[in-house]
Amino acid sequence: MARRRVPPLIAPVPGATRDREGRVTFKPHHDPCHLYFVTATILGWKQVFAKPACAHIVLDSLDRHRRHGRWSLYAYVLMPSHLHAIVKPEGSQTISSVLQSFGSYTAHAMLARWTTEGCHDIDTLRPAAG
């Protein structure tokens, strides 16, 4: 029996393509006039930010990027396993570049703290209830 082609569930979007598995992908797009709602998660939804020291690293990184003119920070919510923020890249920054910088700076700061404190319990943190 021949397989019938199933039409896509969503209408084609300009700039959208499909990868080898058929998932819709988009080219990065940056509009300097827009605010961006971003979500950053911890792999496996581990509740890393429930630890005050880790939460302070994220908050410091958010503020550092604001103070150094990489973005305007309009709002944020820090949850035990993820972060939501509304940001607007400043100057020649793109959303891709500021998110890469934020993620890199935050990860390096956390790894440095865990290394100096001898903290190796990342795998023991419980995943968020789902």
How many domains does the chain divide into?
Answer: 1
For residue 32, pLDDT over 60 is answered with: yes
Establish if 4 belongs to a structural domain. no
Structure confidence by residue, pLDDT tens digits, 69-107: 999 999 999 999 999 999 999 999 999 899 999 999 999
Establish if 82 belongs to a structural domain. yes
Establish if 90 belongs to a structural domain. yes
Q: What is the pLDDT of residue 118?
A: 64
Structure confidence by residue, pLDDT tens digits, 34-48: 899 999 998 888 888
- What percent of the chain has a predicted confidence (pLDDT) above 70? 75
- Which residue segment(s) compose the domain that 42 sits in? 31-124
Establish if 9 belongs to a structural domain. no
Question: Residue 62's domain is classified under what CATH number?
Answer: 3.30.70.1290
Establish if 98 belongs to a structural domain. yes
For residue 123, pLDDT over 60 is answered with: no
Establish if 99 belongs to a structural domain. yes
Establish if 115 belongs to a structural domain. yes
Establish if 70 belongs to a structural domain. yes
CA pair distance 28, 10, nearest whole angstrom = 19
Residues 50-66: what's their mean pLDDT?
94
